[in-house]
Each structure stands twice: as C-alpha cells, then as structure tokens.
Amino acid sequence: MPWGSIEVEAKFTAGPDTEARLAALGAALAGSSSFRDLYYDTPDLRLTRADHWLRLRQGAGWELKCPPLPPGGAALAPQPPAGGTGGVPEAAAQEPPAVATTYQELTSPRAIVGRLCGVLGVAPAPAWDQVPGAVAGLGLQEFASFGTRRRSYRLGGLRVDLDQADFGYAVAEVEALVAAQEEVPAALEEVLQLRRALGQDGATRVPGKMSVYLQRHRPRHYQALLRAGVLAGDPEPP
C-alpha cells in the first residue's frame, strides 16, 4: 500500500466494564503504550481547515491523517471541508455528522510531503524529501501537543484503543484498517457492531482528543474548524 492504509474508526466512551466486555467477546490485550503527539499547521490553519492532520508521534514518526483520495487518486488540489466525516463532503451538507470516520493515514515522507504540497497549492522543493524540511519550508507551526496512555485490544481484524490523554480526557475507539475504498462499507459495519456490543448507542457521537484539546486550549482554532465544517461541535460526554 504505497499511499498508506485507510482507517475506519468510531469513538466511544469506555465505562468501568469495558475491558470485561472486551474479554467476554474474546478480545485479547495487545499492549499498552504511552506517546506524545505534536500537531502542525500553517499559521492560517489551512491544513486542518481542509481536514488534514499532520503529526509527529514521538517514537513512531511523522503521520498525516487526511480524507482518502477518490479512485484515480491524483486530485491534490485544495479540498472542500470534509464535514468531520473524513472525506464525505456532499453527505455532510445534508445529514448529521456520522459517528464513524474514514481517513487515510500516510507515513511515507514522499506521500506526506506530496499531499501537503497539494493541499497548500505549492510545488515540492528538492530539500523537502524528508518531512522536517517540508515543515520548515512550508512555515508549519506546532499548534497542539499532548500525551496519551493507551491500552489496545485486538478482536479479529478490529482494534480497540482505550486512551487517557494528559489534559484530562479519556476516549476509546474501535478501528479497522483496510487497503481500498471498496472495503470501507463492510469495515464500517463491523466497527459499528462492536461499538454497540461495547455498550455505546448507535446515535451518540463522541469527540476525539483533538476536538476536546482545541475546545479547551485553542478556542479560536476550534471555532474556525466548526465554521469550516471539519469538527462537529459535540459536547463532551458526561
């Protein structure tokens, strides 16, 4: 998969019985980890307003989460907002935001820099063969930094992450990784089925760490993403 895998994921709120439910369903603890994420954008927020999330995950490296390209894949021009659904802009205009998201996760420096340049409408420079060079050349600045403690479970092809962020927010997610857009609908069904089995009702959207971080620590950035239709403005779960 030269352009990275597609992640289909749905957040939920874990309760005191979530790990027991996972065990009862046959899930296996895959591991625990701690990491820090540093997120980057232009000073005028052109990446995140286009639903592109560039981060340095310490210990893992550079990653870009962005809406999957349509089949054919060459459209790297600036994109309309994704309505918080990870690349389903036309649906977002009429329907409530979905509880699940679909993003491509790019990890190869070439793919990351190519996509960043496409969104920002600039030609890549030769010195940008590694992400830090492009970050400097494009004038990207850190806008968020937080740590996460994570416990991960595996159940069949699904993964469940139970996250505790260091700014005092806990959130969980069910995730499937697929290789192609055609595999997304079936993965989505599996993800939502497990989310229900873990006790989360089908309609409740649960905000991710970034949404809550921005709301608390970067309110102007948060408001800009609400206006752009990239974040949905969900209240934090009780």
Q: Which is nearer to ligand V4E, 151 or 209 (CB)?
A: 209
Burial 41-64 (b: 16+ CB within 10 A, else e): bbeebbbbbbbbbbbbeeeeebbb
Cα–Cα distance between 124 and 110 in angstroms, integer? 10
Q: Which is nearer to ligand V4E, 134 or 230 (CB)?
A: 230
| 187 forms part of the interface with ligand V4E (CB under 6 A) | no
**Contact window for ligand V4E (CB under 6 A) among 26-34, 179-187, 195-203, 206-214:** 206-214
Q: Which is nearer to ligand V4E, 84 or 118 (CB)?
A: 84
Cα–Cα distance between 215 and 47 in angstroms, integer? 18
**According to CB under 6 A, which one of 12, 103, 128, 222 is a site residue for ligand V4E?**
103
Cα–Cα distance between 90 and 233 in angstroms, integer? 19
Give the contact letters, 31-70, x = binds to ligand V4E (CB under 6 A), - = no.
----------------------x-----------x-----
Q: Across the strands, what pairs with 151?
A: 32, 162
By CB atoms closer than 10 A (0-12, 13-18, 19+), residue 100 is: buried
| 84 forms part of the interface with ligand V4E (CB under 6 A) | yes
What's 88's DSSP letter?
A: -
| 229 forms part of the interface with ligand V4E (CB under 6 A) | no
| 213 forms part of the interface with ligand V4E (CB under 6 A) | no
Burial 20-34 (b: 16+ CB within 10 A, else e): ebbeeeebeeeeeee
Return the closest-CA partner of residue 117 out of 103, 138, 142: 138
Smallest gap from residue 231 Cβ to ligand V4E (A): 5
Q: Which is nearer to ligand V4E, 24 or 227 (CB)?
A: 227
| 153 forms part of the interface with ligand V4E (CB under 6 A) | no
| 210 forms part of the interface with ligand V4E (CB under 6 A) | yes
Q: Across the strands, what pairs with 9?
A: 101, 175
**According to CB under 6 A, which one of 4, 11, 144, 176 is a site residue for ligand V4E?**
11
Smallest gap from residue 185 Cβ to ligand V4E (A): 18
Chain contacts with ligand V4E (rule: CB under 6 A): 11, 53, 65, 84, 101, 103, 173, 208-210, 230-231
